[in-house]
Each structure stands twice: as structure tokens, then as C-alpha cells.
């Protein structure tokens, strides 16, 4: 018989013993504290680089300039401007107590507001096609915006002129702000629309500006126009069969060369509408009189196709296709010079034998491309030496010393001798979004 004492000993042994599997369990691995990675903003990096030195709070003139810039900013398309101006004024008032955190916060708010405003100026122009990365709208980095401001001899003066992208924009903007002061706002809405189409900063001091609405070209150097001439732009029409627009589109690109004595690549709709019916009626010989030839491709050295092998009735009906070019002659629709630039739409500038068109007040007469009133003068300016296409009868490519940016835009309000000239809305784009249809190349 087991004694009570022995039972207690056994019970104690059972209760106090540790199972073998528990003894083998490893100690839990300590969990590391989560690592917080701070995402430094351009403003953070700017102040870190200058050891948190203030940019704005000791410069009352610059503060006032920035607040006014932001209050005016809706005219530049930056609609958040007035709200930011109010926030800045409140932050400055809070910082007057001398609290270091409030002072730093106000200074950083002003820096971030300047970044937001400046970057908004470098957004793509609505409806514009960019054919070259060099002129493509590209906002500067926040750090570069602040670094430029910090280096300026006068921060206030820098803020007062930071919106000045080009001479046309500067004059339109001033006029828009004056109009906005009128009780009914005057023409400020129309001027703001035109500002959106003039919002570009040329990467070169030498550039070309073409206004479709007034059918005029300007050559700019070092911030001022050095010459101007009339141009002919696309018709305000839609090609019935294809549905393509004949309007000259808004474009930005870079010109690198000219072509003397160019072939004219005849647009499809003109082949179909004018040339093919004549060839079908009169025979292929009708092409020879106007120096047309059929080619297998648009390459630089294409295979010439016998026009007798083409079904001209089918081409006229739109069921067959023929590529035609016109040889360099006095009657060639390209004239003596052509100025191509990449844009993806086949639009270029060129001379013309039809000088009578420049006597017209409304010069929407082409099939999309842009005809020059004085092509030789334009070529001489682009080349930096006299353009002499008459020195050769063959087609010849002549490079420019450097690429020259070109901006083709649509301005129904335009600076003119210190005033604003209002042009006819020839395409109706002021009443609707710009037509993005591909314009037909040629003429």
C-alpha cells in the first residue's frame, strides 16, 4: 500500500517536470524594429544642401512678389495659385511669433509653391504635336528651380520675371492682366486661351514662330524678332473622301536642313481628284507636260513606274493607289526651296511659284503645308549665308550650322507695336478644342 507521503512525492514530480519537447524548443528570435525610410522631396534636398538656411523669410519684397505671382497665376493656367497665396500669407503671419518650426514651415511652403507654379508653365501646349525631343515641353526639376532662385542677384526680381517664357507670351500676359481688371473681365478669357498656345520656352536663342491665324512668320534671335513675312497656311476644309483635315496643325519641331530644287510629292487627294481623271481621259502623256512621274516609293532613289501600267480610272475612284512626284522645275509647287522638319504629319515649309497668294488678306489656301513669301531670305537667315538654289538644277540637301526650333501655333490675339491685334478665328479653334486630325502634306 502506497503511503500518502509517497503519493505526494509522485505528484510533485509529475507537476514539476518539464516535457522533453519543451526543453528542445529554441528561444524566439527578437523582432527588429521597423525601418522607416524617409522619402526626401526636392524641397528637403534643397534645404539640406544649404544647411536649412532660409530663402524667403528674411526677404519681405520676395514674399510679396511670390504672393502676387500666385494671385495672378490663373492667367497662366495655374488655378491653384490664389489658394496657395492665401496659405502663404497665413503661414507668414503664424511665423511672426518667432517659433522656429513655424518659420521653417512658411519658408518651405513658399519654395514648394514656386516649384509648383514654374513646373506648370512647362506642360505641353494643348493640341500641339511635338516632333523633336529638344523642343518637347519638359518641366525643370524642383531643385534646379530653387537653385536658380537662390542664385538670383534679386530674388524678388527673379520671381517677378519667372513667367517670362518668350516675348509673345510676356506681352500677351501683361495685356491679359490689364483686361482682367475691367469690371466684365474684358478680353482676359480670350487672351488666356491664346497664352496657353504661346506657352513655350525655346531651348535656343534663335527660333521660328509661325502664327496660323494671321498667316505670318517671325524669325527670332536673342529675344527679339529680326524679320517677318507672310505665309500661306492650310484651308479650313476636310477632304471629303478621306476625312483628313487640310488645316495646318499646331506643331513644334527642329529644322536641320533645307532642300534646293525639291521634288514635289503630290498629296493622295490631289492625285485622286485632279491628276488621275486627266490621265484617264487624256492618257499617260498628260503627266509628262507637267513633269510628273510615277514612283514605287518615297525613298530618295525610287524606282520609276511606267504610267501606262497604272489603272488611272481606279486611282480616280479611290480603289487603286499611285505615288506621283513633280520634277524640279519653275512650275514645281515647292518652288526652289523646301524646309522639312520632323513632326509625324508630313508638314513642312516651302517656296511657291504662286506669289499672288500673298496679296490675299486671308491666306488659308494650301493643303496643310506652309508656303513662304520670301523663301530665299528665310533660307539665308537659317544658313547664316546667302541661299543660292539657282546654283544647281538637281535636288540638293543643304545643312544648317545648327538646328533651329520652330513653333507653329494659333494666335487670335497677338502683340503688335505695343498693342494687341485680334485676328479672325479662321479655323474656329477658339470655340472648340484644336483639331487634331492629320493634315495632308503638300502644296
Q: Are 337 and 387 in contact (CB under 8 A)?
A: yes
pLDDT at 348 (0 to 100)? 97
- Is 434 inside any structural domain? no
- Is 198 inside any structural domain? no
Q: Are 415 and 272 in contact (CB under 8 A)?
A: no
Q: For residue range 118-135, what is the model confidence (pLDDT) as tens digits?
A: 999 999 999 999 999 999
pLDDT at 335 (0 to 100)? 93
The count of other CB atoms within 10 Å of the CB of residue 267 is 24
pLDDT at 289 (0 to 100)? 80
Average pLDDT over residues 369-384: 97
Full-model pTM: 0.85
Domain final residue pick, 163, 195, 218 = 163
The mean pLDDT of the chain is: 89
- Is there a single domain that holds both residue 372 and residue 253? yes
Domain range enclosing 128: 42-163
pLDDT at 244 (0 to 100)? 84
- Is there a single domain that holds both residue 232 and residue 340? yes
Domain final residue pick, 102, 133, 163 = 163
- Is there a single domain that holds both residue 265 and residue 333? yes
Give the distance between the most distant pair of CA atoms in the chain. Answer: 138
- Is there a single domain that holds both residue 231 and residue 302? yes
Query: Phi-psi category of 418—alpha, beta or left, where left has phi over 0 and alpha has psi -120 to 50?
Result: left
- Is 300 inside any structural domain? yes
- Is there a single domain that holds both residue 237 and residue 330? yes
Q: For residue range 132-189, what is the model confidence (pLDDT) as tens digits?
A: 999 998 999 999 999 999 999 999 999 999 999 999 999 999 999 999 999 999 999 9
Nearest CA among 204, 210, 129, 138 for reference residue 403? 204
- Is 6 inside any structural domain? no
- Is 179 inside any structural domain? no
Q: Is residue 382 predicted with pLDDT exceeding 70?
A: yes
CA distances from 307 to 130, 265, 317, 337 (A): 38, 16, 17, 27
DSSP 160-228: HHTT--SHHHHHHHHHHHHHHTSTT-TTHHHHHHHHHHS----SSSEEEEEETTTTEEEEEETTEEEEE
pLDDT at 24 (0 to 100)? 54
- Is 195 inside any structural domain? no
What distance in Å separates the CA atoms of residue 105 and residue 117, rounded to the nearest whole number?
18
Phi/psi at 314 (5° precision): -70, -35
pLDDT at 1 (0 to 100)? 46
Nearest CA among 355, 356, 352 for reference residue 370? 352
What distance in Å separates the CA atoms of residue 29 and residue 18, rounded to the nearest whole number?
22
pLDDT at 66 (0 to 100)? 99
| Entry field: residues in the chain | 443
Domain final residue pick, 109, 138, 163 = 163
- Is there a single domain that holds both residue 387 and residue 286? yes
Give the list of residues 6+ apart from residue 15 with CB closer than 8 angstroms, or none: none
Among 32-46, 92-106, 258-272, 334-348, which is the least confidently predicted range?
32-46
Is residue 350 annotated as part of the catalytic site, yes or no? yes
Q: For residue range 285-325, what is the model confidence (pLDDT) as tens digits?
A: 888 888 899 999 988 889 999 999 999 999 998 899 999 99
Q: Given pLDDT bands bounded at 50, 70 and 90, which one contains residue 21? A: very low
Query: Phi-psi category of 346—alpha, beta or left, where left has phi over 0 and alpha has psi -120 to 50?
Result: left
Give the list of residues 6+ apart from residue 372 with CB closer than 8 angstroms, or none: 217, 229, 231, 337, 339, 349, 350, 351, 352, 378
- Is there a single domain that holds both residue 416 and residue 268? yes
Give the list of residues 6+ apart from residue 249 with CB closer than 8 angstroms, or none: 127, 129, 345, 347, 368, 408, 434, 435, 436, 437, 438, 439
Structural domains counted in the chain: 2
- Is there a single domain that holds both residue 229 and residue 308? yes
- Is there a single domain that holds both residue 233 and residue 306? yes
CATH code assigned at 339: 2.40.440.10
Buried b (16+ CB within 10 A) or exposed e, 291-319: bbbbbeeeeeeeeebebeebebeebbeee
Give the list of residues 6+ apart from residue 214 with CB closer than 8 angstroms, or none: 411, 414, 421, 423
pLDDT at 287 (0 to 100)? 87
- Is 388 inside any structural domain? yes
What distance in Å separates the CA atoms of residue 287 and residue 281, rounded to the nearest whole number?
12
Is residue 265 annotated as part of the catalytic site, yes or no? no
Active site residue: 158, 321, 350, 354, which one?
350
- Is there a single domain that holds both residue 260 and residue 116? no
Cell 466684365 -> residue: 184
- Is there a single domain that holds both residue 145 and residue 249? no
- Is 192 inside any structural domain? no
What distance in Å separates the CA atoms of residue 364 and residue 377, rounded to the nearest whole number?
22
What distance in Å separates the CA atoms of residue 282 and residue 358, rounded to the nearest whole number?
33
Average pLDDT over residues 85-97: 97
- Is there a single domain that holds both residue 124 and residue 243? no
What distance in Å separates the CA atoms of residue 234 and residue 129, rounded to the nearest whole number?
16
The count of other CB atoms within 10 Å of the CB of residue 422 is 16
Amino acid at each position: 500500500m502506497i503511503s500518502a507521503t509517497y503519493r505526494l512525492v509522485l505528484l510533485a514530480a509529475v507537476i514539476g517536470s518539464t516535457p522533453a519537447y519543451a526543453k528542445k524548443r529554441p528561444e524566439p528570435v527578437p523582432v527588429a524594429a521597423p525601418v522607416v525610410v524617409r522619402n526626401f522631396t526636392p524641397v528637403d534636398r534643397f534645404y539640406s544642401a544649404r544647411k536649412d538656411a532660409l530663402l524667403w523669410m528674411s526677404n519681405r519684397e520676395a514674399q510679396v512678389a511670390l504672393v502676387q505671382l500666385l494671385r495672378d497665376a490663373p492667367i497662366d493656367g495655374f488655378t491653384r495659385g490664389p489658394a496657395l497665396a492665401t496659405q502663404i500669407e497665413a503661414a507668414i503671419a503664424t511665423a511672426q511669433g518667432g517659433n522656429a518650426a513655424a518659420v521653417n514651415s512658411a519658408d518651405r511652403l513658399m519654395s514648394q509653391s514656386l516649384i509648383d507654379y514654374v513646373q506648370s508653365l512647362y506642360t505641353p501646349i494643348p493640341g500641339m504635336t511635338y516632333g523633336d525631343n529638344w523642343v518637347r515641353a519638359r518641366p525643370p526639376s524642383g531643385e534646379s528651380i530653387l537653385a536658380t532662385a537662390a542664385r538670383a542677384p534679386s530674388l524678388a526680381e527673379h520671381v517677378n520675371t519667372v513667367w517670362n517664357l518668350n516675348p509673345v507670351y510676356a506681352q500677351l500676359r501683361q495685356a491679359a492682366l490689364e483686361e482682367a481688371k475691367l469690371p466684365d473681365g474684358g478680353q482676359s478669357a480670350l487672351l488666356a486661351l491664346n497664352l496657353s498656345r504661346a506657352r513655350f520656352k525655346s531651348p535656343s536663342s534663335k527660333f521660328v514662330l509661325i502664327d496660323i491665324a494671321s498667316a505670318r512668320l517671325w524669325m527670332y534671335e536673342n529675344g527679339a524678332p529680326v524679320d517677318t513675312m507672310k505665309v500661306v497656311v492650310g484651308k479650313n476644309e476636310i477632304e471629303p473622301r478621306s476625312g483628313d483635315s487640310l488645316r495646318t496643325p499646331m506643331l513644334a519641331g527642329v529644322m536641320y536642313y533645307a532642300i534646293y530644287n525639291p521634288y514635289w510629292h503630290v498629296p493622295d487627294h490631289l492625285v485622286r481628284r485632279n491628276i488621275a481623271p486627266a490621265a484617264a481621259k487624256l492618257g499617260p502623256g498628260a503627266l509628262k507636260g507637267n513633269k510628273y512621274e510615277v514612283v514605287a516609293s518615297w525613298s530618295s532613289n525610287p524606282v520609276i513606274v511606267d504610267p501606262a501600267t497604272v489603272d488611272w480610272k481606279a486611282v480616280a475612284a479611290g480603289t487603286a493607289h499611285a505615288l506621283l512626284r513633280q520634277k524640279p522645275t519653275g512650275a514645281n509647287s515647292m518652288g526652289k526651296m523646301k524646309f522639312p522638319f520632323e513632326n509625324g504629319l508630313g508638314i513642312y515649309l516651302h517656296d511657291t511659284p504662286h506669289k499672288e497668294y500673298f496679296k490675299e488678306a486671308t491666306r488659308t489656301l494650301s493643303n496643310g503645308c506652309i508656303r513662304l513669301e520670301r523663301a530665299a531670305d528665310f533660307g539665308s537667315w537659317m544658313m547664316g549665308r546667302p541661299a543660292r538654289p539657282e546654283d544647281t538644277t538637281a535636288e540638293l540637301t543643304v545643312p544648317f550650322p545648327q538646328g533651329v526650333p520652330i513653333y507653329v501655333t494659333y494666335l487670335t490675339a497677338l502683340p503688335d507695336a505695343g498693342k494687341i491685334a485680334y485676328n479672325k478665328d479662321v479655323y474656329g479653334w477658339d470655340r472648340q478644342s484644336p483639331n487634331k486630325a492629320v493634315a495632308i502634306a503638300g502644296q
